[in-house]
C-alpha cells in the first residue's frame, strides 16, 4: 500500500514539474511583437519629425499616417506570407496524398523504415506502419508530420494572421499619438507613454522566454529609447540642413 502511495505521489510530482511553456508563443508572441513594432516605429517616426522643429499638427499627422501605413503594410505582408506558406503546404500535401493513393505499400514501407531509424525493432515498426496506414487520412497526417513537420488539420489562417497583425500594430502605434489626441502640446508625454508601453511589452515577452520580466522590459525600453533618440537627432540635423 505504501509503495502504491509513493508511486502515486511520484507521478503527481512528475506532472507538476513536467509542465512546459508554449514555446511556439501561440497568439501571444505575434501579438506582443506586433504591438512592439508599432510602438517603436511610430515613436521613432514622430520623434524624427519633431526633431525637425515642425508644428504640433505635423507631428500628429505623421503619427496617424505612420499608424495607418504601418498597420496596413503589416496586414498585407502577413496575409501574403501566410497565404503563400499555406498554398505551398497544401501543394505538398496533394503530392503526398497522390503517393499514398498510387503507391500505398511503398509509403507504408517508408514509414516503417522511418520508425526503424528511430530505434524501433523492425518487426514492430512494420506492424505499426501497417496499422497506421489502414486509414488514408490518418496515414496522410502521419506522413505529413513525419516528413514535412506539419499538421494538416492545424494550418495557419491568412485572414487571422492579417487581422491580428493589423490590430496589434495599430494598438502599439496609437500609444505615442494618444497624448496629442487627448490635448498634450509637447512631445514628452508621448515619449513617456510610449516608453512605458515598451517596458510593459518587454515584460510580457518574458512569458514566452526564459528571461525575467524586468530584464526583458528594460531591454526593450533601452532599444526603443535608443531608436527614438537617434531619429530625433537625425530629424534635428536634417531639419537644420533643410531650413
- Whether the per-residue pLDDT at 15 is higher than 60: the answer is no
pTM: 0.77
Query: Does the CA dihedral 128-129-133-138 come out positive or negative?
Result: positive
243: number of Cβ within 10 Å? 7
**What are 178-227's pLDDT values in tens digits?**
999 999 989 999 999 999 999 998 888 887 677 899 999 999 999 999 99
Place of cell 496499422: 131
**Residue 178, class by beta-carbon neighbours within 10 Å (0-12 exposed, 13-18 middle, 19+ buried)?**
middle
pLDDT, average across residues 166-172: 95
Amino acid at each position: 500500500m505504501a509503495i502504491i502511495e509513493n508511486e502515486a505521489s511520484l507521478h503527481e510530482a512528475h506532472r507538476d514539474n513536467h509542465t512546459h511553456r508554449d514555446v511556439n508563443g501561440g497568439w501571444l508572441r505575434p501579438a506582443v511583437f506586433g504591438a512592439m513594432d508599432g510602438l517603436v516605429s511610430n515613436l521613432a517616426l514622430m520623434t524624427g519629425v519633431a526633431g525637425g522643429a515642425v508644428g504640433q499638427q505635423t507631428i500628429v499627422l505623421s503619427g496617424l499616417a505612420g499608424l495607418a501605413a504601418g498597420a496596413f503594410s503589416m496586414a498585407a505582408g502577413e496575409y501574403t506570407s501566410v497565404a503563400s506558406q499555406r498554398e505551398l503546404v497544401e501543394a505538398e500535401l496533394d503530392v503526398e496524398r497522390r503517393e499514398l493513393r498510387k503507391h500505398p505499400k511503398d509509403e507504408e514501407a517508408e514509414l516503417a523504415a522511418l520508425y526503424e531509424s528511430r530505434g524501433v525493432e523492425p518487426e514492430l515498426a512494420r506492424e505499426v506502419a501497417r496499422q497506421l496506414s489502414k486509414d488514408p487520412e490518418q496515414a496522410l497526417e502521419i506522413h505529413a508530420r513525419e516528413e514535412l513537420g506539419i499538421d494538416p488539420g492545424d494550418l495557419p489562417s491568412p485572414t487571422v494572421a492579417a487581422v491580428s497583425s493589423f490590430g496589434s500594430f495599430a494598438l502599439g502605434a496609437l500609444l505615442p499619438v494618444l497624448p496629442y489626441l487627448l490635448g498634450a502640446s509637447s512631445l514628452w508625454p508621448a515619449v513617456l507613454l510610449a516608453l512605458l508601453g515598451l517596458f510593459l511589452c518587454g515584460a510580457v515577452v518574458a512569458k514566452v522566454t526564459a528571461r525575467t520580466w524586468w530584464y526583458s522590459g528594460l531591454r526593450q525600453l533601452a532599444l526603443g529609447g535608443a531608436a527614438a533618440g537617434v531619429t530625433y537627432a537625425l530629424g534635428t540635423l536634417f531639419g537644420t540642413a533643410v531650413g
